[in-house]
A and B are shown apart, each in its own frame.
Chain A
């Protein structure tokens, strides 16, 4: 089946995301934009995953858990998992390795967890945009160890990307796909970075404001809307694939 997915959505817990980015609003917007698969990928946090998944399920939308981890080299990495055990492992990995700097809400923004009624139930006191003391290779290895999916985020961007921080894609780095922004063509990126175009590229909204949810998405041919189905599409296995885009 053909599935429309946005795997990089920030919620209100991300200091840079708009206060309207509550799980309720995100799910409603995903529904309006006909997304069948979403992932909440906040900066160094998975805490809004469980509520978003529960709300999404009521509308028949599949929601995966995610986080946009900042590596030691300040590279943003989209990390996606499926089960609650994997989510907890990912959250522990982040909390055990992040540089804990006090957040200043008036400078960086609020980092709050809300419930279904949009009441604040938790506030994270350390700055979530800080880096972990783990290299990108170590983040990749960790995701492999918990059977998660590892995708370097917005690889074509001039900040916080694999290419901006490390100059080029390390030949030994293992990744499931690369996320590219709508500003670049895959063919141009591959020729500038000496990378085979057979690698899997995807696009997501990286939404920080509610109108952006699902504005940019990727379509997948998958047999089953799940992490395993997604992995098949990245690996072009069992008849699954990512629909090409320029």
Chain B
């Protein structure tokens, strides 16, 4: 399953990093503490968070994450969006809160 498949299935807005839409997704991780994500998120995961700071892209790149989903309609900061384009790590946005989008992503990934 690719980031594009997920974004279409879950009706997500693609804010930036369009060149990374073919990244392969193998799981998910929900957390707002960047040090926690650095320590524990598995490679290939889609990261669900409310953090919009530019450091999110550095962490996603370091951990080979597939994409970031921002919750509650949040959008990336301008410099975060630029870095996302540079690193080909898409930032997606949903109006849902973390609990709801996590549940939907979990069901989607584990359906097959």
Contact = CB atoms under 8 A, between A and B. Distances in A.
Nearest to B62: A167
B77 interface: yes
Interface string B77-95: 1010000000000000000
Interface of A: 73, 135-137, 163-168, 170, 172
B53 A135 contact: yes
Interface of B: 33-35, 37-38, 51-55, 58-59, 77, 79
Contacts of A163: 35
A-B pairs with lowest CB-CB distance, top 10: A167-B34, A166-B55, A167-B35, A167-B38, A166-B34, A170-B55, A167-B59, A164-B35, A167-B55, A166-B53
A73 B54 contact: no
A170 B53 contact: yes
Contact of A170 (B33, B35, B38, B54): B54
B54 A172 contact: yes
Contacts of A164: 33, 35
A164 B59 CA distance: 13
Contacts of A170: 53-55
Given A167-B59, A170-B53, 10 more contacts: A136-B53, A137-B77, A163-B35, A164-B33, A164-B35, A165-B34, A166-B51, A167-B38, A168-B34, A170-B54
A166 B77 CA distance: 15
Contact of A168 (B51, B55, B77): B55
Contacts of A168: 34, 55, 58
A52 to B, nearest CB: 33
A71 B66 CA distance: 28
A165 B52 CA distance: 12
8 contacts: A135-B52, A135-B77, A163-B35, A167-B35, A168-B34, A168-B58, A170-B53, A172-B79
Nearest to A164: B35
A166 B62 CA distance: 14
Given A135-B77, A172-B79, A167 B37 contact: yes
